C-alpha cells in the first residue's frame, strides 16, 4: 500500500519538475543538490499546510486568534529576557525609557515585556476573559457594529493603548510623585484598556463566577462593569494606602481610561476616519510612501 507521504512526493514532482527540467539556460547552474533542496522545501511547506495538527488555527475564533498572537509575543519576549547576550538590547528597547532617542520603540515594546512569570501569567488570564469569553473581536460584517471590532482595529487599539500607558508613566507619575523606578513595564496598561473597553461595551455580560455562599446561592456572578469598579477600588486600596511598588497603578488606570475613550470616541474619530488620517500623515511626510 502506497503511503500518503509517497503520494505527496509524486504529486509534488509532477507539479514542480517541469519548472526545473525546462528551465531557462540562464539558470542551468542549478545542480542536483540544489534541486533536491528545493523539492524538500516545497514538500515541507505542503505537509505543514495539510497537517491536521496545525490546521486547528483556522477553526479558532477571531478573539482566540488575537489572544494567541498576543500571548505568543509576550512569551517570546519573556524568554528573551532570560538570554544573557540580549540583556543590553532588552534594557534599551523593552522597558519604558525616558530617553528621547529610543522613546518610540521602548514605549511600544515595553507593553509586551515581562520579567516575572507570575506577572505574565496574571496578565494572560486577565486578557483571556475579554477576548475569548466575551468575544468582541469578530469578522466582518459583525465587526462594523459597536461594541464589536475587527482584528485590524483591535491591534490598532491595543498598540495605541500600549503607547498611551507608557507615556502616562513618563509624564504623569513624576507630577504625582509616585514614580516607580523598580517597574518600567507597560503590559498592564494595554490589557487594562481591553478590560475598560469591554466593561462599557458589555456592561451586563457575565465575566467571572466566584464560589461564595450568599443567600442560599453557591456562587456570585460578576459582570464586566462591576469588575471594572472593583479593579479601581482595589488599586486605590493597595497602591495609595499600602503603597505596593510592584503594581503599575498609573498604567492600569491610564489603560482603563484609554479603553473608555476608545469606546466613546476613539473608534469613531480615529478608526472610522483612518483613510483621511493616513492621507494627512502622508502629505506631511509622517508616513513614508
With contact defined as beta carbons under 8 Å apart, do 62 and 152 qualify?
Answer: no
C-alpha cell, 229: 469598579
Longest dimension (CA), the chain: 85
Using CA atoms, how far residue 205 sits from 161, 193, 201, 214, 223, in Å, is 23, 17, 9, 20, 5
With contact defined as beta carbons under 8 Å apart, do 123 and 113 qualify?
Answer: no
Q: What are phi and psi of 150, to 5 degrees?
A: -80, 170
pLDDT tens, the chain, 289 aa long: 344 444 455 665 566 555 555 555 544 555 566 666 666 666 666 666 555 556 677 778 888 889 999 999 999 988 988 888 888 888 888 887 665 555 677 878 888 888 778 888 888 887 887 888 777 888 777 777 778 888 888 999 998 998 888 888 777 776 666 555 555 666 778 888 888 888 888 877 765 555 544 444 445 556 666 666 666 666 656 655 555 554 567 777 888 889 889 988 888 888 888 777 777 766 665 554 4
Distance CA 120, CA 226 (A): 24
Distance CA 225, CA 223 (A): 6
Q: Which long-range contacts (CB under 8 A, 24 or more apart) does 95-103 make?
A: 95/184, 95/185, 96/166, 96/169, 96/170, 96/184, 96/185, 96/186, 97/184, 98/170, 103/170
Nearest-Å Rg of the Cα atoms of the chain is 25
16-25 b/e (C-beta count within 10 Å ≥ 16 → b): eeeeeeeeee
Q: How far is CA 125 from the centre of its chain?
A: 13
For residue 138, count other CB atoms closer than 10 A to its CB: 18
C-alpha cell, 221: 456572578
Asked, as a colleague might, if the bond just before 141 is cis with ω within 30 of 0, I would say yes
Distance CA 150, CA 140 (A): 7
Amino acid at each position: 500500500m502506497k503511503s500518503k507521504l509517497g503520494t505527496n512526493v509524486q504529486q509534488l514532482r509532477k507539479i514542480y519538475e517541469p519548472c526545473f527540467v525546462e528551465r531557462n539556460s540562464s539558470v542551468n547552474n542549478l545542480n542536483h543538490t540544489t534541486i533536491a533542496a528545493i523539492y524538500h522545501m516545497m514538500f515541507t511547506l505542503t505537509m505543514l499546510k495539510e497537517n491536521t495538527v496545525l490546521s486547528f488555527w483556522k477553526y479558532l475564533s477571531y478573539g482566540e486568534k488575537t489572544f494567541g498572537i498576543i500571548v505568543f509575543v509576550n512569551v517570546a519576549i519573556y524568554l528573551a529576557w532570560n538570554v544573557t547576550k540580549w540583556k543590553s538590547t532588552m534594557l534599551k528597547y523593552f522597558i519604558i525609557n525616558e530617553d528621547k532617542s529610543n522613546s518610540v520603540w521602548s514605549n511600544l515594546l515595553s507593553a509586551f515585556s515581562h520579567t516575572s512569570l507570575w506577572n505574565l501569567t496574571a496578565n494572560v488570564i486577565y486578557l483571556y476573559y475579554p477576548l475569548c469569553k466575551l468575544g468582541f473581536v469578530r469578522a466582518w460584517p459583525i465587526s462594523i457594529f459597536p461594541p464589536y471590532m475587527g482584528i485590524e482595529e483591535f491591534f490598532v487599539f491595543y498598540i495605541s493603548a500600549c503607547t498611551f500607558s507608557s507615556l502616562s508613566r513618563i509624564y504623569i507619575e513624576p507630577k504625582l510623585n509616585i514614580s516607580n523606578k523598580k517597574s518600567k513595564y507597560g503590559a498592564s496598561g494595554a490589557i487594562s484598556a481591553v478590560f475598560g473597553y469591554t466593561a462599557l461595551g458589555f456592561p451586563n455580560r457575565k465575566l467571572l463566577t466566584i464560589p461564595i455562599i450568599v443567600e442560599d446561592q453557591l456562587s456570585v456572578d460578576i459582570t464586566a462593569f462591576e469588575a471594572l469598579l472593583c479593579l479601581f477600588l482595589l488599586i486605590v486600596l493597595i497602591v495609595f494606602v499600602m503603597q505596593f511598588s510592584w503594581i503599575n497603578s498609573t498604567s492600569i488606570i491610564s489603560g482603563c481610561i484609554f479603553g473608555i475613550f476608545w469606546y466613546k470616541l476613539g473608534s469613531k474619530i480615529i478608526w472610522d476616519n483612518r483613510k483621511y488620517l493616513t492621507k494627512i500623515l502622508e502629505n506631511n511626510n509622517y508616513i513614508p510612501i
